[in-house]
Amino acid sequence: MPLRSLLFVPVLRERFVEKAATSGADAIILDLEDSIAAAEKAPARAAAPEVLQRVAAQHPQVFIRVNGLDTGLLEQDLHAAVAPGLAGISLPKANGPETVRQVDAYLTLLERVRGLPSGYVRLLLWIESAKGVMAVEQSLAASPRVLGACFGAEDYTADLGIVRSEGMEEVAWARTRMAVACHAAGVLALDTPAAEFRDLAKPRAEAAFARSIGYRGKHCIHPDQVAVCNDVFGLSDAEAAWANGVVAAYEAGERAGLGAVALDGAMVDRPVYLRALRLLGR
């Protein structure tokens, strides 16, 4: 299933939990990390199993974002999270393959104890530090559970001690590197959330640029951002018409023994044909 939009829902915000399944998001991420204050971590963890079952009964893709390995809370969070209906774990601070392998081992044990199939729980890795960016290829290869990786601009810039800018130039290199690494590994590249949720022009522009460099979806911090992400990362009627035209023209030319054909005044060769197939495959 697509992951064009992934909506964060704080586990303890009942009003948000109730609306999550009808938000239109491709995935719901029940959050135990950034949106939960330190004093509320234990109550949120205790509530997570019941909230997961309630939301998963209405939505096919529900993830839980746990606290990072360095917090001392990860093991307890995983113990509360792993259950039937969980699509996967959203793992913060995936700074290297050692972290991914350790979490994989925890999940393997919990799956065995709880009678779940091996590999049932998938992983979305948050790449949000200098170490994480430099080790992204190794982290993506560290476990077959890895479904995708998420770029975290806020934590990344905090780690480097740099200021966020309107144009996001300061994260352009890391953001692009991660997208390329994800494609090389055959997993999804998922973009950082936009802070703005009243003026949706900024989230739309961010999503459009992210898609242009290889991202397949974007995180949302507000339900109003969901439709924007679904639209930007979805397949438009114009794109579908172009791709279907390219496929039909190229395959007709191939049957005629041609390696390239003309379509609407442009050359269509095999790379263009493959790009059209991948576009339709979304």
Q: Which two tokens stand for residue 118?
A: 């091996």
Residue ending a domain, choose from 233, 249, 269: 233
Q: Indicate whether 163 and 176 sit together in one domain.
A: yes
Q: Which two tokens stand for residue 135?
A: 């080790």
Res 198: pLDDT: 87
Res 282: pLDDT: 59
Q: Indicate whether 139 and 189 sit together in one domain.
A: yes
Q: Indicate whether 181 and 102 sit together in one domain.
A: yes
Sign of CA dihedral 167, 125, 186, 115: negative
Structural contact between residues 60 and 2, judged by C-beta atoms closer than 8 angstroms: no
Q: Indicate whether 134 and 264 sit together in one domain.
A: no
Structural domain for 123, as ranges: 5-233
Q: Indicate whether 167 and 254 sit together in one domain.
A: no
Q: Indicate whether 226 and 248 sit together in one domain.
A: no
Structural contact between residues 242 and 276, judged by C-beta atoms closer than 8 angstroms: yes
Q: Indicate whether 184 and 272 sit together in one domain.
A: no
Structurally, the chain folds into a number of domains equal to 2
Mark the ranges of the chain whose per-residue pLDDT is less than 50: none
Q: Is 225 exposed, middle or buried (0-12, 13-18, 19+ CB in 10 A)?
A: buried
- Report long-range pairs for 237-246 (Cβ below 8 Å, ≥24 apart): 239/279, 240/280, 242/276, 243/276, 243/277, 243/279, 243/280, 244/276, 244/280, 246/272, 246/273, 246/275, 246/276
Q: Indicate whether 188 and 251 sit together in one domain.
A: no
Q: How many residues are present in the chain?
A: 282
Q: Indicate whether 192 and 249 sit together in one domain.
A: no
Residue ending a domain, choose from 233, 251, 270: 233
Question: The domain spanning residue 167 has which CATH number?
Answer: 3.20.20.60
The one-letter amino acid at 13: R
Structural contact between residues 67 and 99, judged by C-beta atoms closer than 8 angstroms: no
Q: Indicate whether 195 and 215 sit together in one domain.
A: yes
Q: Indicate whether 107 and 65 sit together in one domain.
A: yes
Q: Is 14 exposed, middle or buried (0-12, 13-18, 19+ CB in 10 A)?
A: exposed
Q: Indicate whether 217 and 243 sit together in one domain.
A: no
